[in-house]
Amino acid sequence: MFEYNTIQSPVENILMKEKGSKFIGFAYPIFTDSEIKKSLEKLREEHSKATHHCYAFRLGLEVENYRANDDGEPSGSAGLPIYNQLLAHNLTNILVVIIRYFGGTKLGVGGLVKAYKESAKMTLDEATIITKELESIIELTFPFEQQNIIFTLLNKFDAKINRFDAEETCIITASVKTVQKESISKLLSEMHFLSFKFIDQPE
């Protein structure tokens, strides 16, 4: 699995009304737990008078990091319908928040499930869904006079140079497509003048 689907940019303030209640949808591309926390805090501040801030997120490629939160609504009536929309759209590295302002009429569990599902769907329908290729970070150490050979090789793999320290001994960090990790490792292993390693990075 070398690619995944997420959204290109945030979607905000998608309004849906149901029996007087207002449901406002937000979706954010996220990559870390701290980004989730920051987005939720910002919305709680901006919508401090809202009755509920329900949300769901999926994070990472194996998607072992996920959560559905009902924020005081009956269990399973809000967070889960939102989460199911993330599954239906096959999205990860995403946070969807539905903020509810209660309008005076109770919707019942079935009504809530329908409203939160519809609101999450409307929000995601406004998003641009993109497929991102997985990348790995590689660090290379080699003598200065070999830099042309290294740059030619990295160019061949469409690597993105993130850092280049041109001293007597050079160090390059670059991003390469994970799908090409094995191929580039094989070629680099045959070059006796350099050392290289892949650096773990947060998804």
pLDDT band at 202 (very low <50, low <70, confident <90, very high): very low
Q: What are the tens digits of pLDDT across the range 42-85?
A: 999 999 999 999 999 999 877 678 999 999 999 999 999 999 99
Q: Is the pLDDT of residue 1 over 70?
A: no
Contacts of 48 (CB under 8 A, 6+ apart): none
The pTM score is: 0.75
Which among 76, 95, 97, 102 has a CA at the least distance from the CA of 36?
95
Looking at the chain, list the stretches that DSSP marks H as alpha helix, in order from N- to C-terminal side.
33-46, 79-88, 108-125, 147-156, 181-189
Listed in order, the ranges of the chain carrying CATH 3.30.70.240 are 134-199
Measured CA angle at 122 (ends 118, 126), to 5 deg: 165
134-199: CATH topology: Alpha-Beta Plaits (3.30.70)
From-to residues of CATH 3.30.230.30 in the chain: 3-131
Does 3.30.230.30 match the CATH number of domain 3-131?
yes
Measured CA to CA, the distance from residue 110 to residue 86 in angstroms comes to 20
pLDDT digits (tens, 9 = 90+) for 138-180: 999 999 999 999 999 999 999 999 999 988 899 999 999 888 9
CA–CA separation, 139 and 175 (whole Å) = 9
Amino acid (1-letter code) at residue 56: A
